[in-house]
């Protein structure tokens, strides 16, 4: 069963579902990218690991997190060309998660690589801080920072009611961009993870929604006969 939504499914932000979803999306993006990279580049799926600690009266709860990302490196010398990272709820809501994500971003900047941030998380504080004046409202975004213009952002956005965007993924400065269909990666990940069977659409998602999004979500689920 496909997702009842045209784009991202907000129910996937649930802490029990997200780790598997992130793994699936990153690997689907890797599979989509790989055929176009074989000649000049090599790609690998990396992983960061960190622990969040939370004090609970007389004890401390430790939560381990494993988050995947994609590195595209030049085959000839191993230089990091493009870092593709998917933001998690923990990155946007916990100090440890935010620090781990920003450390990886700084590593990419230090290598003078292109940075691609995919943010499919509604909750928490954005990982990138830039002026939104004159820009349309959005729920989800892909932000591309090119090594040749590190002070500029290319922003590809979507609202909950729309499909996820296609975006231009930069490679070496003398090479053409690769166009990535994020919605296609999402659909493949959703199907492969069989998430429709794991989601209870009768109840509201764990992440907070605006009143407008909540109303639209309810109407969408009723029309899809999920409620």
Question: What's the pLDDT score for residue 56?
Answer: 63
> Distance between CA 157 and CA 18 in Å, rounded?
21
pTM (two decimals): 0.94
Under 8 Å between Cβ of 63 and 54? yes
Task: Specify the DSSP class assigned to residue 195.
Answer: G
> Distance between CA 124 and CA 41 in Å, rounded?
35
Question: What's the pLDDT score for residue 128?
Answer: 85
Under 8 Å between Cβ of 129 and 145? no
Q: Which residues of 25-50 are buried (b: 16+ CB within 10 A; e: fewer)?
A: bbbbbbebbeebbeeebebeeeebeb
SS3 content of the chain, % helix, strand, coil (to 5): 30, 30, 40
- Enter the tokens of residue 94: 């916990």
User: Could you read off the pLDDT tens digit of each residue along the chain, which spans 227 residues?
Assistant: 889 999 999 999 999 999 999 999 999 999 999 999 988 999 999 999 999 877 666 777 788 999 999 999 999 999 999 999 999 999 999 999 999 999 999 999 999 999 999 999 999 999 987 777 777 889 999 999 999 999 899 999 999 999 999 999 999 999 999 999 999 999 999 999 999 999 999 999 999 999 999 999 999 999 999 99
Question: What's the pLDDT score for residue 189?
Answer: 98
Question: What's the pLDDT score for residue 141?
Answer: 96
**Half-sphere exposure (CA, 13 Å, Cβ side) for 46?**
18
> Distance between CA 65 and CA 169 in Å, rounded?
27
Question: What's the pLDDT score for residue 60?
Answer: 72
Tell me what percent of the residues of the chain surpass a pLDDT of 70: 99
Instruction: List the Cα angle 205/210/211 in 5-degree steps.
Output: 100
Under 8 Å between Cβ of 214 and 223? no
N- to C-terminal Cα separation, the chain: 15
């Amino acid at each position: 069963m496909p997702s009842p939504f045209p784009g991202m499914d907000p129910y996937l932000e649930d802490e029990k579902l997200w780790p598997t979803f992130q793994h699936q999306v990153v690997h689907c993006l890797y599979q989509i990218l790989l055929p176009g990279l074989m000649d000049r580049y090599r790609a690998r799926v990396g992983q960061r690991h960190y622990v969040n600690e939370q004090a609970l009266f007389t004890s401390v709860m430790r939560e381990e997190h494993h988050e995947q990302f994609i590195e595209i490196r030049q085959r000839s010398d191993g230089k990091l060309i493009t870092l593709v990272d998917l933001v998690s709820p923990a990155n946007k809501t916990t100090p440890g998660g935010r620090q781990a994500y920003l450390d990886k971003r700084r590593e990419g900047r230090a290598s003078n690589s292109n940075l691609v941030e995919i943010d499919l998380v509604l909750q928490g504080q954005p990982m990138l801080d830039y002026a939104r004046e004159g820009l349309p409202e959005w729920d989800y975004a892909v932000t591309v920072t090119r090594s040749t213009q590190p002070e500029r952002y290319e922003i590809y956005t979507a609202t909950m009611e729309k499909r996820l965007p296609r975006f231009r993924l930069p490679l070496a400065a003398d090479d053409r961009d690769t166009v990535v269909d994020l919605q296609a990666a999402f659909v493949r990940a959703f199907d492969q993870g069989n998430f429709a069977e794991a989601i209870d659409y009768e109840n509201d998602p764990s992440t907070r929604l605006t009143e407008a999004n909540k109303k639209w979500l309810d109407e969408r689920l009723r029309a899809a006969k999920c409620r």
